[in-house]
Structure formats: C-alpha cells, structure tokens
Amino acid sequence: MKQELVAMLLAGGRGVRLSKLTKSVAKPAVFFGGKYRIIDFTLSNCANSAIKTIGVLTQYEGASLTEYIGDGQKWGLDANGSSCVVLAPGENGDGCYFYNGTADAIYRNLSFIEKYEPEYVLILSGDHVYKMDYTKMLHFHKSKNADITISAINVPIKEASRFGIINANEDYSIYEFEEKPENPKSTLASMGIYIFTYKKLKEYLEKENKNDRKEHDFGKHVLPTMLKDNCKMFVYPFDGYWQDVGTLDSLWKTNMDLLDSDELGLLNPNSTWKIYTQDSYSPPQYISSSATVSNSIINQGCYIEGNVKHSVIFNDVKIEKNAKVIDSVVLPGSIIKEGACVKKCIINQNIVIDANAVVNDDDKKICLVDGGEVNG
C-alpha cells in the first residue's frame, strides 16, 4: 500500500553508559517512569501522529526487543492499514551481520521502504524521552520544499559537544552542521529526528555506500555531504521536553523530573497525548498504615510498609517496615528489606537490598545497584 510517509526507528543501541541496566536488553527497552520502556515514547508518538507504517531496526539484544515490540499492538499499530515491522540486520553481502552506522542501517532496508513508495521518510531514534507531533514537522518540511528537515532543541552550552550542532539562518535554513564539536558555535542540537524527501534520501545513501569506510553515519557523513552539495536543509525548532537518557545520571534526573514538574504530562489524567506500554497485569498496589509516601510514583503490584520520598517505584516492588527509599528509582520486582536505607539510587530489577543496609550515603553521585555490585 502506497504511503505518503514511512517511519524508520533506529533501536539497536547498546547503551554502554547505562552500565548493567543494558546487560541483557537494548537501550530502548530500558525501564522508565514507573511503568514504561524508553521506546514506548517514540512508538506512541508515531501512533498519536497517525503514522501507519513503521520499520523498527534492531541490533543489540534484538530478540528481547523483538518480543517486546511484537506486531505493535501495545501502541495500536496493528490496526487495519497499519504495520509495525521489526527489521534485524541480516547479512550484507560482506559477511557482516551488524549495521555499520545509522546511514548503513537505513541503506540496507531501502527495499522495505520502497514497498510503500513514500514521498517522505521519517527517521527516529528509539532511546529518547519526549512527546512530539510528527505531522507538524512534516507540514514544516513541505512548506520549505526541503530535501531534509532536522528537528533540534537548545541545550546548555556545557552539554553541546555531545550532540550534532546546527547553525541556521533566520529562515531556518542550515548553513553549518558540526558533529559533536569540541568548541560548539551554538546550542542548537540535533535530536536525531530527520524527515527526508525520499528520492533525496535514496540518492545520498547510495552515494555514501560507495565510500570505502567501516562506518556510514548520518551525522558524520551524509549530512555534511548534503550541506556541501547545497541541498535544501532546514532546522525544525522543538520547544517541548526532550531528554537523551544515555547515562545513569540523565536517566535518574529524567525520572526525577516527573516528580518535580511533569513537563511530559504523564501524571495528567486529562492528557490527550497518551504514552502506551505493556500492562504488567499485577494486583493493585498496597500501602500499609505504617508507611509514609510523599511525592512519589507507585505502580501496581507494590507492597509498601516503609517510607518512600521523591522516588519512582515500578511494579511488584516490596518495601518493608522502617525501610527508607529517597530520591531513587526502583525497577520491577525488587525488595527493600526492613530497616534498609536507599538514597539517590537506581535499583535494577529483581534485586534484594538486605535488612538495615545503607546504600549510597553520598548526595553528590547516583548509584546503580545490580546484585552485589554498586556502581556510581
């Protein structure tokens, strides 16, 4: 079926900076916000933007992510006329079973895209937390008659070197793009969200594939080449909440943001832009008369007898009497035993914190607890 736009979601990241949280799952499948996985946000954005065809490109721990995504039913992407298809790397003709960069991943799936004869291709990342209506970005792209539109957000100058940095004119046309510069000239950072006019995307992917190098990347190779060739490149400014949760500190902070401001509106029962996820089918939460809970998210299946303050508690967590959980994120199935104190931690799933244990008494760092290991 011919589609005006096809979305390609890059979801193969390993997320090494998230340490043990990604020892058996891909970064997009990491837990977030009490009940979600990170990839839920991008897939829900697609569903809410009425995008009917999505290819999800997996790689690291692809089997577990494939099982979670399924046919897209969790996000309503299995409806009539819609499809959510998982695309594993496969062999590329040179004996390589891995995607060699973001551009290589899309190039090796051109046959999937061409089945739908799209006019435009939306390229997304599966490891960011945000809400965005992609139809507005598409309207902007059309209005500019652009070859490519890049969504961007202003970031603090001290963080700008982590991103692709864009310099643009008043009409939003891009005159310079620097991938992770040491001395950034602006704070306008690429969000890794691109809309290409498909003919131009195919042209430059085929051109890039002819280069004899080990990696083929949009930020490092394709975008600079398009800029050099004077392609019509525009920036789409985004002024909503967006976070790249690629480190333990950023993952912890983004969870805490839900409690402090809820800019994402996840706690607003009247929000019309829903984030969909898999139901855990756990029993209702229980909070005993001995418990004290303040400014926290407590998911279903939790059994709370202790004290919880400014924390995000996932499903099926047990916090025993006189235990304290402060400024922390506790993943599913973990148990905090009686008298234990947990502060500024991310507790991995199915972890037991022993009775009277004190975990992290340092207010300056975030700790990840995984079995017997504590990593700051």
Q: 102: buried, middle or exposed (CB in 10 Å: 19+, 13-18, 0-12)?
A: buried
Same domain flag for 253 and 288: no
In a domain, 264, yes or no: no
In a domain, 117, yes or no: yes
Number of separate domains in the chain: 2
Same domain flag for 248 and 173: yes
Same domain flag for 218 and 311: no
Rounded Cα–Cα distance for residues 176 and 190 (Å)? 12
Structure token pair of residue 68: 């979670």
Same domain flag for 334 and 231: no
Q: Which of 258, 292, 318 is the last residue of a domain?
A: 258
In a domain, 319, yes or no: yes
Same domain flag for 219 and 360: no
Rounded Cα–Cα distance for residues 28 and 125 (Å)? 9
- What pLDDT does residue 104 have? 93
In this structure, are residues 48 and 147 in contact, taking their beta carbons and an 8 Å threshold?
no
Q: Which of 258, 291, 320 is the last residue of a domain?
A: 258
Range of the domain at 339: 281-375
In a domain, 273, yes or no: no
Side-chain half-sphere CA neighbours of 270 within 13 A: 0
In this structure, are residues 205 and 222 in contact, taking their beta carbons and an 8 Å threshold?
yes
- What pLDDT does residue 94 have? 58
Same domain flag for 290 and 342: yes
Same domain flag for 248 and 312: no
- Other C-beta atoms closer than 10 Å to the C-beta of 142 total 14
Handedness of CA 142, 147, 151, 153 (dihedral sign): negative
Same domain flag for 241 and 330: no
- What pLDDT does residue 173 have? 98
- Which has the closest alpha carbon to 359: 297, 311, 315? 311
- Other C-beta atoms closer than 10 Å to the C-beta of 280 total 15
Q: Which of 243, 258, 273 is the last residue of a domain?
A: 258
- Which has the closest alpha carbon to 130: 162, 148, 149, 152? 152
- What pLDDT does residue 376 have? 53
Query: What's this model's pTM, rounded to 2 decimal places?
Result: 0.94
In this structure, are residues 251 and 30 in contact, taking their beta carbons and an 8 Å threshold?
yes
Give me the CATH number covering residue 122: 3.90.550.10
In a domain, 93, yes or no: yes
Same domain flag for 230 and 295: no
In a domain, 371, yes or no: yes
- What pLDDT does residue 248 have? 94
Same domain flag for 60 and 161: yes
In a domain, 269, yes or no: no
Residue 270 to residues 231, 258, 265, 266, 274, Cα–Cα distance (Å): 42, 16, 9, 10, 10
- What pLDDT does residue 373 have? 60
- Average pLDDT along the chain, 376 residues, taken 10 residues at a time: 94 84 90 96 96 93 87 86 86 66 94 96 96 98 98 93 94 94 93 97 95 88 95 96 92 96 90 92 95 97 98 98 97 97 96 95 85 63
Same domain flag for 130 and 173: yes
- Which has the closest alpha carbon to 371: 338, 312, 315, 331? 331
Q: Which residues lie below 8 Å from residue 72, measured CB to CB, with a gap of 6+?
A: 43, 54, 78, 82, 83, 84
In a domain, 128, yes or no: yes
Same domain flag for 55 and 171: yes
> Using H for helix, E for strand and C for coil, what is the string for the chain?
CCCCEEEEEECCCCCHHHHHHHCCCCHHHCEECCCEECHHHHHHHHHHCCCCEEEEECECEHHHHHHHHCCCHHHCCCCCCCEEEEECCCCCCCCCCCCCCHHHHHHCCHHHHHCCCCCEEEEEECCEEECCCHHHHHHHHHHCCCCEEEEEEECCHHHHHHCEEEEECCCCEEEEEEECCCCCCCCEEEEEEEEEEHHHHHHHHHHHHCCCCCCCCHHHHHHHHHHHCCCCEEEEECCCCEEECCCHHHHHHHHHHHHHCCCCCCCCCCCCCCCCCCCCCCCCCEECCCCEEECCEECCCCEECCEEECCEECCCCEECCCCEEECCEECCCCEECCCCEEECEEECCCCEECCCCEECCCCCCCEEEECCEEEC
Rounded Cα–Cα distance for residues 237 and 358 (Å)? 45
Rounded Cα–Cα distance for residues 194 and 200 (Å)? 13
Give me the CATH number covering residue 309: 2.160.10.10
- What pLDDT does residue 24 have? 85
Rounded Cα–Cα distance for residues 132 and 224 (Å)? 26
